[in-house]
Amino acid sequence: MTDDTKDFAPSRRQFLSGAAAAGAGAVAGTAASAAGPDPLITEKQPWAQELGAGVDETPYGLPIKYESDVVRRNVEWLTADPISSINFTPIHALDGTITPQGCAFERHHSGAIELRKEDYRLMINGLVDKPLIFTYDDLERFPRENHVYFCECAANTGMEWAGAQLNGAQFTHGMVHNMEYTGVTLRTLLEEAGLDTAGDLKDKWVYVEGADASSNGRSIPMEKALDDCLVAFKANGEALRMEHGYPVRLVVPGWEGNMWVKWLRRIEVTDHAVESREETSKYTDTLEDGTSRKWTWAMDAKSVITSPSPQMPIKHGKGPLVITGLAWTGRGAITRVDVSKDGGKTWETARLAKPGEKMALTRFYLDTTWDGEEMLLQSRAMDDTGYVQPTKAQLREVRGENSIYHNNCIQTWWVNKDGEAENVEVS
Partner 1 sequence: GPALAEKFGLGREALPEEIAAWNVDIAPDGTGLPAGSGDAFTGEEVFAEACAICHGDFAEGRDNWPKLAGGEGTLADKDPLKTVGSYWPYLSTVWDYVNRSMPFGNAQSLTADEVYAITAYILYSNDLVDDDFVLSNENFMDVELPNAEGFIIDDRAETEYPIFNVACMSDCKESVEITMRAAVLDVTPEDEGTEAEEVAQTETEAPAAEE
Which residues within the stretch 278-297 sit at the binding site for partner 1 (CB under 8 A)? 280-282, 284, 286, 288-297
Q: Minimum Å distance from CB 414 to partner 1?
A: 6
Rounded CA separation 301/305 (Å)? 14
Residues from 118 through 147 that contact partner 1 (CB under 8 A): 123-126, 130-135, 138, 141-142
Interface positions, 356-375, toward partner 1 (CB under 8 A) = none
Subset of 226-265 contacting partner 1 (CB under 8 A): 226, 265
Which lies closer to partner 1 via its Cβ, residue 10 or residue 245?
245
Question: Which is closer to partner 1, CB of 333 or CB of 424?
Answer: 424
Name which of 233, 275, 225 is nearest 253 in CA terms. 225
State which of residues 17, 30, 101, 270 lies at the interface with partner 1 (CB under 8 A).
Answer: 270
Binding status of residue 390 toward partner 1 by CB under 8 A: yes
Report the residue number, 10 or 158, with the smaller CB distance to partner 1. Answer: 158
Q: Which of 191, 203, 367, 373 binds partner 1 (CB under 8 A)?
A: 191
Q: Tell me whether residue 101 or residue 276 sits nearer to partner 1 (CB atom).
A: 276
Query: Which of 75, 333 has the CB closer to partner 1?
Result: 75
Kindly tell me which of 10 and 257 has the beta carbon lying closer to partner 1: 257
61, 233, 250, 335, 346 from 380: Cα distances, Å = 37, 34, 30, 11, 12
Residue 344 to residues 258, 328, 371, 398, 424, Cα–Cα distance (Å): 32, 20, 18, 20, 13
- Can you say whether residue 32 is alpha, beta or left, with left for phi > 0 and alpha for psi between -120 and 50 degrees? alpha
- For partner 1, which is the closer residue by CB, 213 or 322? 213
**Which one among 19, 93, 103, 159 touches partner 1, defined by CB under 8 A?**
159
Instruction: Kindly tell me which residue out of 272, 351, 354, 417 binds partner 1, with binding defined by CB under 8 A.
Output: 272
Q: Which stretch binds partner 1 (CB under 8 A): 4-12, 24-32, 55-63, 342-350?
A: 342-350
* Strand-by-strand arrangement of the 362-370 sheet: 302-307, 319-328, 362-370, 351-352
Q: Which among 15-23, 32-40, 117-125, 352-360 is the span making contact with partner 1, rule CB under 8 A?
A: 117-125
Other Cβ atoms closer than 10 A to 82: 13
Residue 244 or residue 380: which is nearer to partner 1 going by CB?
380
Burial class of residue 165 (count of CB atoms within 10 Å of its CB; 0-12, 13-18, 19+): middle
* Binding of partner 1 by 89 (CB under 8 A): no
Residues 408-427 that bind partner 1 (CB under 8 A): 414, 422-427
Q: What is the DSSP string of 342-410?
A: BTTSS-EEPEESS---TTS-EEEEEEEEE-SS-EEEEEEEEETT--BPPPHHHHHHHH-S---S---PP
Q: Per CB under 8 A, which region of 4-12, 26-34, 59-67, 211-219 contacts partner 1?
A: 211-219
Least separation in angstroms between residue 241's CB and partner 1 is 21
Residues 6+ apart with CB under 8 A from 204: 127, 198, 221, 222, 269, 270, 271
Backbone angles phi, psi at 107, to 5 degrees: -145, 115
260 vs 283, which CB is nearer to partner 1? 283
Q: Identify residues 49-88 at the interface with partner 1 (CB under 8 A).
A: 69, 73-80, 83-86
Beta bridge partners of 86: 107
Q: What angle do CA 304, 171, 386 make, to 5 degrees?
A: 25
User: 356 and 335 in contact (C-beta within 8 Å)?
Assistant: yes
Q: Considering CB under 8 A, how many residues would be counted as binding partner 1?
A: 108
Q: Does 25 contact partner 1 by CB under 8 A?
A: no
> Considering only residues 96, 102, 163, 320, which one is a binding residue for partner 1 as defined by CB under 8 A?
163
Whether residue 221 is preceded by a cis peptide bond, meaning omega within 30 degrees of 0, is: no
Q: Does 276 bind partner 1 (CB under 8 A)?
A: yes
Site for partner 1 in 295-334 (CB under 8 A): 295-298, 300, 310
Of the pair 15, 364, the CB lying nearest partner 1 is at 364
**One-letter amino acid of 427:** S
Q: Determine contact, residues 232/250, Cβ cutoff 8 Å.
A: yes
**Closest distance of CB 359 from partner 1, Å:** 17
Q: Kindly give, in sequence order, each residue whose CB lies less than 8 Å from that of residue 123, ignoring residues fewer than 6 positions away.
A: 131, 132, 133, 134, 265, 266, 267
Identify the burial level of 118 via C-beta atoms within 10 angstroms of its C-beta, where 0-12 means exposed, 13-18 middle and 19 or more buried. Answer: exposed
User: Judged by CB under 8 A, which stretch of 26-34, 233-241, 314-322, 336-344 contacts partner 1?
Assistant: 336-344
